[in-house]
Amino acid sequence: MDLMNWKPKRWLRIFLPAVLIIIWLAVAGLGGPTFGKISDVSTNDQAAFLPASAQSTAVQDWQSKFVDSTSIPAVVVLTSPQALTQEQLAEVAGLFEKLGAVGGVQKPVAPQTTTIAGPIPSSDKLAVEFLVPVADVGNVKTVVGELRAVIAANLPAGMSSYVTGPAGLTADLVSAFSGIDGILLLVALLAVFVILLVVYRSVVLPILVLLTSVVALCGAIVVVYYLAKGDVIKLNGQSQGILSILVIGAATDYSLLLVARFRESLHEVQSKWTALGRAFKGAWEPIVASGGTVILALLCLLFSDLNSNRSLGPIAAIGIFFSLLAALTFLPALLLAFGRGAFWPFLPKVGHQHKHKHKHTSPVTVDGLAATSEGDVARGLAGIGGLWRRVGLLIARRPRATWVLTLVLLLAAGTGIFQLQANGVSQTQVILGPSNAVDGQKALAAHFDAGSGSPVVIIADQGKQAQVADAVGKVKGIAAVNVYTGGGRPDAAAAPVVRDGRVLINATLADQADSDAAEQVVQDLRAQLPAVDSGVLVGGVSAIALDTNVTAQRDLVKIVPLVLVVILLVLMLLLRSIVAPLVLIGSVVLSYGAAMGISAIVFNHVFGFPGADATVPLFGFVFLVALGVDYNIFLMTRVREEAKIMGTRAGVLRGLGKTGSVITSAGVVLAATFAALGVIPLLFLAQLAFIVAFGVLLDTVVVRSLLVPALSYDIGRHLWWPSQLGRERKEVES
């Protein structure tokens, strides 16, 4: 079918767009209500995302054999500015009983390192502590909220209360994620609308583009919801937030490329069908290539050993697929329905944009620049004005100086990456906003062993429990040790519970369970205990954090080369070249390094962050490299298209001038959407928001505008080696 001159019958002109619009609106009708239900199939339990090979995962499996309940402990801490009186202790004992009546909890108990049945006071008499096992793990936020309400209503005068521990921290984490469905989406859409309004000076077009993004998100949400509900994929709050942002940003980017081509064609032809045919022919290949590249890069996460990374791959890939589909079907239908009215009040008119002619011109001088005998600069910049004409002239005058200087600046910025502290942070540092659980951990550390309620769990062979327990007690950082005897208080005379020839040992940490010091204790235990019992396993909250960080760092080494190879192969197929893809891959890697370097400096010296999650470098790499290649694909497919007609150097200038505005607009939009992640008060999302937003702007403004065009101009026709375009010496090139 000749899209350039397609003239469908009148009935088809009405029927086809209408059917596409109705189908997508039906998808939106299904996806809209699903937004409110997707949190029901989302979990934020860190342990659920560990690989099966991790020692902590094996310990969890053993724990289920010893304890029938799958409850997680909430640690209740009550503090007083003065020594607790007997009357206050009696009131606390009454509260202890009332908490047991809260729905979704089991009977409160004291930590198993004491022989006291009820709440235990601290040695300084300024606090009491007890555990409330939360059995209804799926509604931990609600249960913890009710616990806090009951405590507040019955708290002795002058005391402060905290519900912390694994259950309290999980509840506050879920609360932090609660803004994803509403606030995040609203902020992202508003940012995109304002940017499009300023760039296109149209009231209608931003609405059409945003509507395309919304229906794409609705389609992705429906598929992800049912896959998560069927336990095919694991969905958590981070993946949920990234999905929304990624779909909005990607769908907008693809839409803007098609819109730019459509508006360009409307200046050349009267028929909106012909204009759309031309636009579609010029835009579909880079859009599909860009979307396909991102999808393949994201699916590389399936090779991750960390289940949370592995689950994000298909979730995000589904989002990109629907972004691609909506931009190539729903948006064209809308553009046909509105025609030139989509750009109201500034309607494109035929002949009102200077058209370049694809023919050879005589030698000329362009803005003081002596052109080559073939007139590369004259042809390349014909009809290009404003900023992009000036950038084109800079590149044409001094291509080598431009790319060398840009390269040096990027390398200098990249040196900051050595300051990146991506070794993981404690769970109490993950939440950036106010948190009762975080405050509770501080109170717990001030008055008790900080690891109370989250012990290290050790699985040892029967008959060796005494030797193992003795060895555990000698490790620095262990405050208390007890062998599990089936509930109640530890009793030296009681026999340990044995399952399949194994026993369970709990070791209370002196330090906070998810701190660096606690993780070091786990490493020490794993290094020393095999000498006592070769089959010993060490798990628990601290071990989960350690295994997560180690696995994430291993994933980075494995997945980064895989992503680069996949993207390189896609670019080679698209551009029919080896040199150009290598140039583009090198540019996005440089861009990533510079973005991470600047981000590390900002995190450490501006925001004062305590560190970074171990998965931040990997997620930053996948998103920046995949999305950075997007813009280079948009640029280089246009350059190749023009190079076939006027030669490579003129094609570089022409491609830059024609795509400059749309790619810059798309980059600003994508940066704004990822920056919206910063409204969620979580360290990981705040850091990812800055890395991707800054990295996209750096890639759009510096790498794609200066480095890639200048280097391509300097290389000339050899950029397309070994294709025919690179082998033949065009008469339009010197």
Looking at residue 113, what is its pLDDT? 46
Looking at residue 712, what is its pLDDT? 94
Which of the four pLDDT bands, split at 50, 70 and 90, describes residue 378? confident
Whether residue 311 is predicted with pLDDT greater than 90 in this model: the reply is no
Which of the four pLDDT bands, split at 50, 70 and 90, describes residue 2? low
Looking at residue 694, what is its pLDDT? 95
Closest CA to 615 of 560, 523, 553: 553
**How do beta strands 537-540 and 502-509 pair?**
unpaired
In sequence order, which ranges of 339-479 are alpha helices (DSSP H)?
376-380, 386-397, 399-414, 427-430, 436-447, 465-473
Phi-psi region of 611 (alpha: psi -120 to 50; beta: other; left: phi over 0): left
Tens digit of pLDDT for each residue in 409-429? 999 999 999 998 887 777 778
Whether residue 169 is predicted with pLDDT greater than 90 in this model: the reply is no
Which of the four pLDDT bands, split at 50, 70 and 90, describes residue 406? very high
The three-class DSSP label of residue 420 is coil
CB contact at 8 A, 54 and 554: no
Looking at residue 64, what is its pLDDT? 79
Whether residue 56 is predicted with pLDDT greater than 70 in this model: the reply is yes
Looking at residue 487, what is its pLDDT? 58
Closest CA to 583 of 575, 257, 691: 575
State the average pLDDT over residues 380-403. 88
Count other C-beta atoms under 10 Å from residue 391's C-beta. 20
Looking at residue 354, what is its pLDDT? 47
The C-alpha angle with vertex 495 and arms to 479 and 70, in degrees rounded to 5, equals: 65
State the average pLDDT over residues 73-93. 85
pLDDT, mean over the chain: 83
User: How far apart are alpha carbons 122 and 81 in whole angstroms?
Assistant: 13
Q: What percent of the chain has pLDDT over 70?
A: 89
State the average pLDDT over residues 379-391. 83
Whether residue 3 is predicted with pLDDT greater than 60 in this model: the reply is no
Q: Which two tokens stand for residue 223?
A: 């598929």
Residue type, position 367, single letter: D
Q: What are phi and psi of 58, to 5 degrees?
A: -65, -40
Looking at residue 244, what is its pLDDT? 85
Question: From the CA atom positions of the chain, what is the Rg in Å?
Answer: 31
State the average pLDDT over residues 192-212. 87
Closest CA to 642 of 661, 630, 656: 656
**How do beta strands 369-370 and 127-134 pair?**
unpaired
**How do beta strands 72-79 and 127-134 pair?**
antiparallel
Tens digit of pLDDT for each residue in 622-633? 888 877 788 888
State the average pLDDT over residues 251-268. 89
Which of the two residues, 448 and 209, has the higher pLDDT score? Answer: 209
Which of the four pLDDT bands, split at 50, 70 and 90, describes residue 6? low
CB contact at 8 A, 518 and 551: no
Looking at residue 295, what is its pLDDT? 93
Looking at residue 725, what is its pLDDT? 83
**How do beta strands 502-509 and 456-461 pair?**
antiparallel
Whether residue 238 is predicted with pLDDT greater than 50 in this model: the reply is yes
Tens digit of pLDDT for each residue in 316-353? 999 999 999 999 999 999 999 998 999 888 888 887 65
Looking at residue 25, what is its pLDDT? 92
Looking at residue 222, what is its pLDDT? 92
Whether residue 4 is predicted with pLDDT greater than 70 in this model: the reply is no
Q: Is the pTM of this model over 0.85?
A: no
